[in-house]
Amino acid sequence: MDPKGKVALLTGGARIGQAVARALAARGCALALTYRRSREAAENAAAAARAAGVAAIALRTDATDDQQVGAAVKQAASALGRLDILVNMASIYEKSPHPAAADWSRALDANAKSAFLFSIHAAPLMKAAGAGRIINITDWLPISGRPRYKGYLPYYTAKAAVAALTESLALELAPQILVNAIAPGPVQAPADLAPEENARVVEATPLGRWGGAEEIAKAVLFLVETEFVTGECIRVDGGRHLY
């Protein structure tokens, strides 16, 4: 699918979302960006897209609320004329050393339920148009089949659920809609990362560095443009899974 002249709905407009928005806008793709708390990031991305010559809107949406998600999808398609691409980036990353039911629900809702809701609301519009792309964001750890770090049980499980959702949706929505996922590894270092921890990550990554959000944007473009890849999860981790 050529992104030029198409419309993409991006959930989660902060950090990596900014790079994905720039990449799609540069290819002539109009954007709808949803946010819950990151209003400034979403509106900045929309403004940058408009400056690049494409239409763009920002929509406040609780990605875990079925009615709000349905309304956002309809509003995006109505305002921009169509809906061709969905990139599910809404997510939370929280450590839960002693997880309770609330931690479990929050992680599953924010990471997996949100992708499910946006997908089931967007898919009928894409099918009606004859084609579509859904791209989810999971994590290199569950895709590699090993949790590795203690204290992230709800998060790890939620991201594994995103991978399962990707495969199941790919089967359900073929052949009109291609559904794939991206599993980032060391892409963006947290602002509060200690120097010694940063050194350990770099040492454990065969390519010897953090990748940068642009590497995720490149993977998104590939999965938008491909015509014969579906149900796949691509690790963008600099080889981190090899150790």
Active site residues: 155
| Helix H or strand E segment including 218 | helix 213-225
Q: Report the half-sphere exposure of 214 (CA within 13 A, side-chain side).
A: 1
* Local structure of 186: helix, strand or coil: coil
Residue type, 45: A
Q: Report the half-sphere exposure of 98 (CA within 13 A, side-chain side).
A: 0
- In sequence order, the 6+-apart residues with CB closer than 8 A to the CB of 58 are 13, 32, 33, 34, 35, 39, 42, 43, 45, 46
* Local structure of 2: helix, strand or coil: coil
Prior bond of 175 cis (ω within 30°): yes
